Structure 1
């Protein structure tokens, strides 16, 4: 077909929003960073994190640890749930290198790899380790140690790390969460269920190391980058006579045979709730003098980054929730990476952002978002490393330049008032987590946001002043269900009377007549589901649910339109009043695809046979221009999403439009009604992307 006429680029909404699981600094260039996430794919920065770009070419997006080749400047390896990947252009693009491992599957993971190590003593030799530090998933190769003698062109299984030690049998073993080469030239690995392993023969055989002086099981081990006798261990929280005690840090000076406490000065929190108990994931030690050490308390309450300049004899707090300015809300419970080129520079990363210090841990800066205008401290702009699981992009049809993006987790209600240049959060009295679903606007400045994920919700957020201030309404005092009643679905607001709105929950439809202060369940509403309003017939709605597709003018009488409803997918209505329905992922494959209903002929037409069709939008100024996105769930080697399809001739012919698209699972899409050549789409794990689709371009199939 023709070359793509639109090129996708990150929207740059604030924060990351997905769990960043790795970040590494190039030993060749301190400004060169590569990072990976649990559903995010990868990102690369060439200016120390000021700006990021997504990595391209991945078949799925559940990543693990990064390894820069110590001799080859632009060669980078990364582990993943889909096996090892290599980049020869510094992290801009990736290729799978898993020949010799189990063949990939479209139904599961078959070769999960956490880390790849380069054997600097033997050109072309690599080691790969089976596991996931994110604890994302397991497979038959968990615990495996692999070797390659031709730069990853072919792999052979050396053996497996198990609870009982090392075996050459090809059994499923323990989950390897880290692997590294020590200062003494030996190889090390650490696994959840079995602890610390050491190889003295370049990875051919492994011995499980027993330790003394630690009163509970190990959570991690780190060897000193220069001094071979010094080893640090992280101990997990422990139960002592019925009392749960915090985790701790321990230091060894005899190569790890015996350990003594080494966390003096770190203020720790004890709590019966493990999430509120002080615990640590790992220790980072700078390879440069004075070998500054970093550790992070992962507790939700006492979360902080601690730094030591004297080998762990004393610690100082460098960051806590009050001392850092970030777009997102989590405290600095982070994993850490020290720069190999600058003793004062290090990075910290978690599920919402990346932090950077250039003064040895005394101050930290958000490297996933920035404030573009110091006069507007609540406004943020992303730097290009985004990992949100997107739910909706909604443009305000009555106010040019205003839009809302809704995402899972801490992504409830980020609003732009300046044409997608910066974003501010819809502040309210509810928790920022549990995600957002969608939004609705009125001409008088009323805005309604629905929330929820994983069977729970945070109520309905309402603004009556164009998004400047917010209140959240939830539960019986306001006539709404409680948090555990499920997640909200769609929302509608009266275009001319913003005090009138309704929201959808799994048990029915709830209406408000007073601007969201009180709500009442509409007992006459016969059914609910995903819906779209007919722009040519105000008050007419088309509803899609498990029973099919229906037309209603009052939510009491529903006219079935004849399309079965067994598949996933979204519904939309174009500027001619025609109904667009995506039917993908589940159900009868012969009936999947994009379907359109014309109320004048009362007939359905299958516009596209895409079996993973999920979201659709039509240009509000020209309904013949249609954009279709596809989506699939994770947990297999190949993400099934095929990306984006576009048609400029009313669905007669279609062309792929994936140029620049780093994640091909897309869950929502919309045209800007004031600038219909601008399209924004949301991915399932890579945040939002934008592209311009010129109207004068005729697509070729």
Structure 2
């Protein structure tokens, strides 16, 4: 193993040049962030594929992801490319020109004219569930618009100039609907169909409607189905023909496939086959069906079914089963289930062999008409019982903590919402799961929720983490002695609540470490490696803890109730508030996107008495004390600062990060991303290169080379800022 700045034998004549190089490297010049994830996450709402094969996947925290090579690689689209909304609900391509791409977001429509390389907002407001471009006149574009993300009262917006300008056109559309999907007639740009029902955020009546005058007036053509429609498709060869799949009244039974040859005026049942409709664009009469809500190995409806005889009864044959599909790293039985049947599946518009779909967490695809299915979100590296995985670049995750082991900097462990606990044995370049099947609740080891992961600085593989089914529900404290390959439940005495902010006293003896954490807003202490715990401070509004690097008797805790300290090793009765009033927040409970207060506490590793605190919220920022919190200096102002990392080898070097987004929430112009200082906070240099979104929840420095920085970013996930000569 070779690391930058670890070599010896530099000649004296090169010292000045080296100093200049290291200083430039430390402030991030000529370096950029590289994403380093396992792949997947969630939530992915919809996906679309253009006629040139370009794919656009819609996420709820990281904007849009774009692939130009069949899903082998993905790039994340954010503010630097013109997209200013983290929540993207839908996408659409111009069928005549795939370089024109539309995104429907929680605040209007964004349009690209260069193949999704850059975007501009063309509709300023409203939650857009679906966008449809007229096949015969791509200057005509429609959008399914709602006043808010959880609203009914829809409107159809129409553009006559290719999506550059918009105007509402619907006159008599029922106000109690949630529009899910728009389809434009293949022969008449003024005729369109609207499918309504229940979305992720709001339920409404299920119906199928048609407009023959450009979206102004509407009639129902789906009333005969009793509110059980699940998908609608237009025939690629006959403009008069519609296809509709309908659930059976018995929820465990197969659905029904219907066809209309008069644009929905009348319907004929063809077969007992439900789910998503995949029409072959090359061969008339070939139709595939995927019951993508029930892709469980035990469900008789699972798999992909094909009819080459127009969907007639008895002609569907099973092309493949989920038991033969590759799910990537996920072991969850629900891994293949699509997010919805109204946009989560996207056939290639010209190539009948190709189709992709998104689930709440993953992306899958087929290149052979459904005979096989592969993951498009991750790659498996190596074989054997403990495989490693690396992301293809589509990572919509909430990673809240990242730990680089002092005992072995190649061992990196991360805590996520939903994905749980993951570890890397090669410095973050590949990952393997470390979730506990018992204590991850309904995830069963296929995921989980954790707020922290902490490694022992002197013992390889000794790690503590909290884990549970829900980030805001009961959790169990776990301890591992093999880097998360196996876990033991510890934490006797702790309440069944979310566990946050674990810290370790490095001066305590290995094997009998003194630990602190918060549970229910109170501070708890263990003096036996986490096995048993006692409450040492009843306060109710503290979420994070830290132990002084030079004096184990000084312990800190912070949260919405500000910053507190004990000068007696955390003993009961020894605590007092030492922070300023500006560090306090108002909202109680575990942090979420609107929470304010102390988010990070970092005792200085180089200066006795030194202490740094990042507080998130209006008028807050980064604070520094040289006397254990007796006096304070506000070093950096900002509403979204959340984390600070201090270089133990170079006292003037520090990195701070912040994010307007957390587990939800969007981009705000004041969201700082990552800033670096080489003069102890007197001046700052932004580290933006390679960041799709300026979001940072946690930062960690490689202890062997602090110029190597790890970033936990909500949405785009884990990033690494490598030295100029990266580790091998």
Band of TM-score, shorter chain: 0.7 to 0.9
Counterparts in 2 of 1:115-514, with a 5 A limit?
115-122=130-137, 124-131=139-146, 137-139=149-151, 143-159=154-170, 162-163=173-174, 174-185=177-188, 186-192=191-197, 193-194=204-205, 195-212=207-224, 214-236=225-247, 238=249, 248-254=255-261, 255-259=263-267, 264=272, 280=275, 282-289=276-283, 291-299=286-294, 304-310=302-308, 311-312=310-311, 313-316=315-318, 318-320=320-322, 323-328=325-330, 329=332, 330-334=334-338, 335-375=344-384, 377-409=386-418, 411-430=419-438, 431-432=444-445, 433-442=447-456, 443-444=458-459, 445-452=461-468, 453-472=470-489, 479-481=493-495, 485-493=496-504, 496-498=509-511, 500=513, 501-506=515-520, 508-509=522-523
- Please report how far the alpha carbon of residue 504 of structure 1 lies from its aligned counterpart in structure 2 after TM superposition: 2.8
1-structure distance, mates of 2:554, 2:483: 26
1-structure distance, mates of 2:227, 2:163: 38
Note the aligned Cα RMSD (angstroms).
3.2
> In the alignment, does 2:633 pair up with 1:605?
yes
Query: In the alignment, which of 100, 114, 123 is matched to residue 89 of structure 1?
Result: 114
Matched residue SS, 2:169: strand
2-structure distance, mates of 1:94, 1:358: 29
- Mark the CA change 1:395 to 1:585 in structure 2 (over 3 Å): closer, same or farther: same
Structure 1 window deviating more from structure 2 (616-625 vs 114-123): it is 114-123
1-structure distance, mates of 2:363, 2:564: 46
Query: What is residue 169 of structure 1 aligned with on the other side?
Result: none
- Mark the CA change 1:246 to 1:671 in structure 2 (over 3 Å): closer, same or farther: farther
- Please report how far the alpha carbon of residue 548 of structure 1 lies from its aligned counterpart in structure 2 after TM superposition: 2.1
Unaligned runs of 5+ in 2: 1-23, 198-203, 339-343, 439-443, 586-595
Instruction: Provide, for residues 395-440 of structure 1, a one-character-per-residue CA deviation record: whole Å limited to 9, x for no partner.
Output: 111112111111111x111100111111011142233444121111
1-structure distance, mates of 2:138, 2:371: 40
- Please report how far the alpha carbon of residue 605 of structure 1 lies from its aligned counterpart in structure 2 after TM superposition: 0.7
- Please report how far the alpha carbon of residue 71 of structure 1 lies from its aligned counterpart in structure 2 after TM superposition: 2.8
Matched residue SS, 2:214: coil
1-structure distance, mates of 2:382, 2:172: 52
Matched residue SS, 2:720: strand
Matched residue SS, 2:452: strand
Matched residue SS, 1:437: coil
Query: In the alignment, which of 528, 551, 557 is matched to residue 537 of structure 1?
Result: 551
Aligned pair count reads 638
2-structure distance, mates of 1:265, 1:152: 37
Matched residue SS, 2:320: strand
> In the alignment, does 2:534 pair up with 1:522?
yes
Query: In the alignment, which of 704, 715, 724 is matched to residue 674 of structure 1?
Result: 704
Counterparts in 2 of 1:28-43, with a 5 A limit?
29-30=52-53, 32-43=54-65
2-structure distance, mates of 1:196, 1:17: 32
2-structure distance, mates of 1:63, 1:221: 22
- Please report how far the alpha carbon of residue 471 of structure 1 lies from its aligned counterpart in structure 2 after TM superposition: 3.9
Q: Verify the 8 A CA contact 1:319 1:364 in the aligned structure 2.
A: no
Q: Verify the 8 A CA contact 1:643 1:665 in the aligned structure 2.
A: yes
Unaligned runs of 5+ in 1: 102-109, 164-171, 267-279, 696-701
TM-score normalized by structure 1? 0.83
- Please report how far the alpha carbon of residue 317 of structure 1 lies from its aligned counterpart in structure 2 after TM superposition: 6.5
> In the alignment, does 2:624 pair up with 1:596?
yes
- Please report how far the alpha carbon of residue 350 of structure 1 lies from its aligned counterpart in structure 2 after TM superposition: 0.8
Q: Verify the 8 A CA contact 2:652 2:680 in the aligned structure 1.
A: yes
Matched residue SS, 1:491: strand
Query: What is residue 673 of structure 2 aligned with on the other side?
Result: 643
TM-score normalized by structure 2? 0.80
Q: Verify the 8 A CA contact 2:365 2:373 in the aligned structure 1.
A: yes
